[in-house]
Amino acid sequence: MIDRLISQIEATQNPTVVGLDPTYAMIPSFIKEEMLEAYGKTPKAVAEMFIRFNKGILDEVATLIPAVKPQIAMYEQYGLEGLRAYMETVAYAKEKGLVVIGDIKRGDIASTAAAYAGHIAGVKIEGEHFDLWQEDAVTLNPYMGFDGIEPFIAACNEQDRGLFILVKTSNPSGVEIQDLMVNGLPVYDYSADLVSRWGELTMGTKGYSRIGAVVGATYKEQGIELRKRMPHTFFLVPGYGAQGGTAEDLKDYFDKNGSGIIVNSSRGIIAAYQKDKEVTEKEFAIAAKKAVLAMRDDLQGVMR
């Protein structure tokens, strides 16, 4: 999985992952009106809005990016219909040849962790295997330690899937736990060392593990330190754009070959039409394409 992701970043010359995190407020009014008329004021109407919105964006940007990252919470709040929209979005992205990072942030132990691992391992029913979610990688919370990670590692090795584990997140209150000092080191360094150690259990062939780390763009100094501390760990980087992170901040997150990270942007891309005065709302996908191209060019300016 990590080798495929790196290859697709190289092919597109673009370390951008589009966060497919729609909200009701993001949906253009013409799509809302059409779906509300067809399905009423129902969760199914919202699900159809999300599907239409996401597919429109994917049709425009799929050849320009290596991956997408749908955040499952945006969908599951609408129940079964929302989950259907999530799964249809993932399936459509896979049809487009994109790597899919399921932003699910699970974190539990024992049989519960094994069940969550079905996101990337699939499930077996009377000997038949079903890859229901079709995600190439998922995000995890490491708070419960190796017991919560181990069931996923088998899927990484057996199904060629990947993980991105929270280490230093982009949100301001992350410092309340992640920056606590323990024996002279911040907690995020301990998390980094664990992720590096776990990563040794499932290495790719391009120098990086299938187990990556979430390292935010909004803490430049910490990110640079973590790059040195985790030389074989691929970074998923949130916080670019709308949260304040810049390409210049990320210059030293890249390795010496201009690799090692993929940078997420969600509303800065998928809701770009709301700020782009050169497009109409019916051209929402065109605005997303323009935002992807601008982000690509911005990041290329600091890749080594």
d(CA 241, CA 266): 9
Pair 152, 107: CB distance under 8 Å = no
9 alpha carbon, distance to own chain's centre: 14
Catalytic site residue 69? no
State the DSSP H helix or E strand holding residue 67, giving kind and residue range, or none if neither: strand 67-68
Q: Which of 55, 96, 105, 206 is catalytic?
A: 105
Full DSSP string of 17-61: EE-----GGGS-HHHHHHHHHHH-SSHHHHHHHHHHHHHHHHHHH
d(CA 32, CA 34): 5
DSSP secondary structure letter of residue 234: P
d(CA 229, CA 52): 42
The catalytic residues are: 105
